[in-house]
């Protein structure tokens, strides 16, 4: 399934703001990595589980074929915390729809190749999220 992208940012200021958003090593992601590492688990960071698929998981347990994605509430449309943008609302609504479709496609393709996907929202308690990761890794 092809993923279409919405049109660009509404202004140069918005474009600069969007570019300054980190795609990796965010505070919630670093906290999760520290907690999982403290549990004695070792993983790879920001890796494509399937090299030919342009999707990067935040934590990857290659031997167990587990990919963990830390999803941002705004960017991935969290049902609890996602808010509608006041400016350029149609653009952002379309972008979130595209992101959700891409996430679902990623989950499906990885599953078809024998991977288990765990998605964690950035707002989730770090200790609880790390416990989910550890439980999944230890049962695979």
Burial of 133 (0-12, 13-18, 19+ CB in 10 A): buried
pLDDT of 116: 98
> In CATH, what number is assigned to the domain containing residue 75?
3.40.960.10
Residue span of the structural domain in which 82 resides: 23-139
Residue 4 lies in a domain: no
Nearest 5°: phi and psi at 84?
-80, 140
pLDDT-derived band of residue 19, with 50, 70 and 90 as boundaries? low
Asked, for residue 92, whether it belongs to a domain, the answer is yes
Top-confidence residue, 139 or 10? 139
Higher pLDDT, 77 or 5: 77
Per-residue model confidence as pLDDT tens digits over 102-139: 999 999 999 999 999 999 999 999 999 999 999 999 99
Domain count, the chain: 1
Assess if residue 54 is contained within a domain.
Answer: yes
Q: At what angle do helices 27-38 and 126-139 cross, to 10 degrees?
A: 50
Determine whether 47 is exposed, middle or buried from the number of CB atoms within 10 Å of its CB (0-12, 13-18, 19+).
middle
pLDDT one-digit tens code per residue, 71-100: 988 888 888 877 777 678 888 889 989 999
Look at residue 21 and tell me whether its pLDDT is greater than 90.
no
Q: Which residue has the tokens 């935040």?
A: 58
């Amino acid at each position: 399934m092809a993923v279409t992208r919405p049109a660009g940012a509404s202004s140069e200021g918005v474009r600069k703001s969007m570019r300054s958003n980190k795609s990796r090593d965010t505070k919630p992601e670093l906290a999760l990595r520290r907690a999982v590492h403290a549990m004695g688990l070792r993983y790879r960071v920001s890796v494509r589980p399937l090299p030919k698929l342009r999707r990067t998981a935040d934590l990857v347990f290659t031997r167990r074929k587990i990919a963990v994605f830390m999803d941002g509430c705004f960017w991935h449309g969290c049902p609890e915390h996602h808010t509608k943008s006041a400016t350029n609302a149609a653009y952002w609504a379309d972008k979130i729809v595209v992101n959700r479709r891409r996430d679902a496609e990623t989950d499906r393709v990885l599953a078809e190749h024998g991977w288990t996907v765990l998605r964690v929202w950035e707002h989730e308690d770090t200790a609880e999220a790390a416990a989910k990761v550890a439980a999944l890794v230890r049962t695979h």
